[in-house]
Amino acid sequence: MKALAARRQDRRAPIVLLLLALLLTGGLYAVLAPTSADAAPVQASTNDIATGEKLFQANCASCHGPAASGTASGPSLIGVGAAAVDFQVGTGRMPMQMSGPQALPKPVQFDQEQINQLAAFVASLGAGPAIPTAEQVDPALGDVANGMLIFRTNCAMCHNAVGAGGALSQGKFAPNLWETTPTHLYEAMLTGPQSMPVFNDANITPEEKRDIIAFIDQQGGTSPGGLDLGALGPVSEGLWAWVVGMGLLIGAAVWIGAKSS
């Protein structure tokens, strides 16, 4: 203690203290922040939060309010968590292009670092679901058959039996899931964007979420019977039966009928 006290007045003491404080903050964040080591590392520093806040003020505050507490045109983001930001901004749904029945995906407006900064800022406003780890969303670790059972009980009524998407009321729709990244799938289940209900960890456990991701990963492009015709079911099959089947057969009939006898 004597040595410490002796050096207390040292010129370098504030720097050491600052480093210690940063270490402590970082360490605490690493411990307390719920499992947030994504493939794209989210090491939220105060710096990130500050940059995130600037990005937020420039791009989001007009609808979500300067304190992210929501306005008439956008909901409050306090407590939505980093996962919601990573999903909404990472799929291009936010910032919203125009108002309509629901926010549509479009080219992503920020790079991953900026998205992480925004996520860090929003996460700092209140506790919420974090971005899942790579292991949590790895399709290879999931049980496909269990995923199929959970998917068709919880998801298929909107997203179609294999996730090809489906209609909702008033112009809203459940999108096709084949191109969505496993991380975004996980985040969507966790945060329930737009019309989608929240499937929290008590409802569908993280392992079951991974099973679902494994099932979706198998769809889209896996079609043992040939072209999948959009995997839309009997309507597209009927359409092709008329267009291709009857088209070719009537064409052949005209040809045979025109052949001189």
**Shortest Cβ 107–another protein spacing (Å):** 18
71 beta partners = 74
Tell me whether residue 198 is annotated as binding.
no
Tell me whether residue 257 is annotated as binding.
no
Nearest to 101 by CA among 22, 175, 173, 172: 172
Indicate the burial class of 148 (C-beta count within 10 angstroms; 0-12, 13-18, 19 or more): buried
Positions touching another protein (CB under 8 A) are: 101, 144-145, 147-149, 152-153, 156-162, 164-171, 173-174, 215, 218-219, 223-229, 231-242, 244-246, 248-250, 252-259, 261
**Shortest Cβ 16–another protein spacing (Å):** 57
**Shortest Cβ 127–another protein spacing (Å):** 34
- Whether 148 and 222 have beta carbons less than 8 Å apart is answered as no
Within a 10 A sphere around the Cβ of 126, how many other Cβ atoms?
13
**Shortest Cβ 250–another protein spacing (Å):** 7
Tell me whether residue 60 is annotated as binding.
yes
Distance CA 101, CA 91 (A): 17
**174: part of which helix (H) or strand (E)?**
strand 173-174
Tell me whether residue 63 is annotated as binding.
yes
Dihedral sign for Cα atoms in the order 8, 14, 19, 25: positive
Nearer to another protein, 131 or 214 (CB): 214
Nearer to another protein, 126 or 233 (CB): 233
Nearer to another protein, 20 or 239 (CB): 239
Tell me whether residue 184 is annotated as binding.
no
Nearer to another protein, 24 or 250 (CB): 250
Residue ranges at the known binding site for heme c: 60, 63-64, 155, 158-159
